[in-house]
Amino acid sequence: MNQETLLFDPAPPDPGALRAVLAFPSTYSVGITSLGYQIVWATLAQRHDVDVRRLFTDQGDPLPRRCDLFGLSLSWELDGPVLPELLRNQRIPIWATERNDDDPIVFGGGPVLTANPEPLAPFFDAVLLGDGELLLPAFIDALQQCRHSPRNERLRHLAQVPGVYVPSLYAPRYDTDGTLMAVEPIDAAIPALVEKQTWRGNTLSHSTVVTPEAAWPDIHMVEVVRSCPELCRFCLASYLTLPFRTPSLDDGLIPAVEKGLTATKRLGLLGASVTQHPQFSELLQWLDGDRFDGTRISVSSVRAATVTPELATILSKRGSRSLTIAIESGSERMREVVNKKLTTEAIHAAARHAKQGGLTGLKLYGMAGLPTETDDDIEATAELLLALKRDTKGLRLTLGVSTFVPKAQTPFQWQGVRPEAEKRLKRLAKQLKPKGIEFRPESYGWSVIQALLSRSDRRLAPVIAAVGDGRESMGGWKKTYRAALNGELEPMPGPSQPLPPPWAEVVHDPWETQRTLPWTHLRGPLAPQKLQEHHDQALTVG
């Protein structure tokens, strides 16, 4: 970590500053590449009243003997179950209800926890729902106001901060058959609904540290847009982060780029749909200037319909070899189901423009197992890739395909993982690999575990606590979940809970839209009624 170039000035901590540890549930090279983690760390490190140290699974800063605050940044479901191990290693009781006045406040944030924190809720004292720009400072300010109060008073004070969810102050209520009926505050002084907080400022985020040891070495990342105007119905990045926000070119993007280029010649433009920034063409023209010769620029996934020869030419000139577009499916019908406003001709045009501009590769992302998908729809994906191969000879094609996973706070939260997806991934591989198309499927098994973590309630917490190293295999998860269903696991402290629902009910079964969801007491950008409207529209597509 001694090869870091900081793009901010850390503040020297005051005597008596809050001692904070900010953890990431993976290695340093992965964690330091997370823009969200960097921003939280820099925000804390610029405060005189916080002394923050970092912790990764393979290394960390020198840690204090005792800390006041232990934070976790979480951007991927499969990283969440590392939390109990991190807490045990720091000799912090894993269950929030077993911590006393001398134990740190354990808090977390990030998209996974904002969407559905319930499976991990019993491990956290506080969860920050939404954008950190205003929420994190408000949380720290509130904690400073009551830091010497008894633990229970601190938690009650934090629960009054908009967007701060204190799980121990909410209790699930179950029917006699174990069906979840509600998650309710324990008394009238606690807000019944906790709403995700949204940053609406004129700037978005950019890297606060550049290092050759990152998974993307020496890259300066600039967030060009937040959310996405397309609203594909499975997409957490669209729905959870609404509204679509774009920083201004002169006050936001250009200063952010300039700051990073004092430290590196590698620039990454990030966002769910960067080319839909209203001033993206002006940004591109600016980056085409002679002063950027020698700068390598990469762009995250772009909307296929916005690919132009000019975009491809400038990216090629700036060191990019390929472009990434999300198509979701080769079937026009499926794209309509998921609300992907994209024609087959636009996909072909994107491939032509990429080649015409001098790029040598095109990466396409799709899905298998989407709601209402048939074998014919998968066949259409294979046919589309073969047609692209035929029509744009010399362009290297890569197809990445994931299995559809239902995400909380999206219209498809009521759908399940379809077992047919596993067969369909194999079918695509059989048709495309022999034709020279690189095929990169995501593991069906790990998609199943993602869904388990995405749609469960608090009854999954004892499974997470017990799975240990078994979390590294699907078999380990299934075995531990079976033990939970048989009542063989150490229960959570506190009132007894019913057994968890059957595995298939959580992972595979479509849910009735009237069902009480584990995250019913938490509110994303859109009300459940609006999400249901979008869900029902999808299922009416013929």
The domain locations on the chain are 5-169+177-187, 219-451, 456-525
User: pLDDT tens digits, residue range 3-50?
Assistant: 999 999 999 999 999 999 999 999 999 999 999 999 999 999 999 999
DSSP string, 469-495: GGGGSHHHHHHHHHHHHTT-SPPPSSS
Q: What is the mean pLDDT of residues 155-165?
A: 98
Q: What is the pLDDT of residue 537?
A: 97
Report the b/e string of 158-184 with b at 16+ CB within 10 A: bbebebbbbbbbbebeeeeeeebeebe
Phi/psi at 41 (5° precision): -60, -50
List the one residue out of 267, 272, 273, 325 whose CA is nearest residue 298.
Answer: 267
pLDDT at 542 over 90: no
User: pLDDT tens digits, residue range 478-529?
Assistant: 999 999 999 999 999 999 999 999 999 999 999 999 999 999 999 999 999 9
Give the separation between CA 61 and CA 128, rounded to whole angstroms.
Answer: 24
DSSP string, 268-333: EEESTTGGGSTTHHHHHHHHTSGGGTT-EEEE--B-GGG--HHHHHHHHHTT--EEEEEEE-S-HH
User: pLDDT tens digits, residue range 377-415?
Assistant: 999 999 999 999 999 999 999 999 999 999 999 999 999
pLDDT at 96 over 70: yes
Q: Which residue has the higher pLDDT, 151 or 202?
A: 151
Of the candidate CATH numbers 3.20.20.70, 3.40.120.10, 3.30.1490.20, 3.40.190.10, the domain formed by 219-451 belongs to 3.20.20.70
Q: What is the mean pLDDT of residues 197-224?
A: 95
Confidence of residue 202 (pLDDT cuts 50, 70, 90): confident
User: pLDDT tens digits, residue range 246-285?
Assistant: 999 999 999 999 999 999 999 999 999 999 999 999 999 9
On whether the CB atoms of residues 82 and 416 are closer than 8 A, the answer is no
pTM, two decimal places:
0.96
Q: Which tokens hold the place of 480?
A: 């531990």
Report the percent of the chain where pLDDT is more than 70. 99
Give the separation between CA 143 and CA 3, rounded to whole angstroms.
Answer: 33
Q: What is the pLDDT of residue 520?
A: 95
Q: What is the pLDDT of residue 201?
A: 85
Q: Are strands 126-128 and 170-174 parallel, antiparallel or unpaired?
A: unpaired
Give the separation between CA 343 and CA 307, rounded to whole angstroms.
Answer: 13
pLDDT at 63 over 70: yes
User: pLDDT tens digits, residue range 283-292?
Assistant: 999 999 999 9
Q: What is the mean pLDDT of residues 422-435?
A: 97
On whether the CB atoms of residues 111 and 454 are closer than 8 A, the answer is no
**In whole angstroms, how far apart are CA 32 and each of 75, 127, 212, 216, 498?**
13, 21, 10, 9, 40
User: What's the half-sphere exposure (Cβ side, CA atoms, 13 Å) at 383?
Assistant: 10
**In whole angstroms, how far apart are CA 92 and each of 60, 87, 228?**
17, 5, 39
Q: What is the pLDDT of residue 335?
A: 98
Confidence of residue 1 (pLDDT cuts 50, 70, 90): low
Q: What is the pLDDT of residue 282?
A: 96
Q: First-to-last CA distance in the chain?
A: 55
- CATH fold, domain 5-169+177-187, is Rossmann fold (3.40.50)
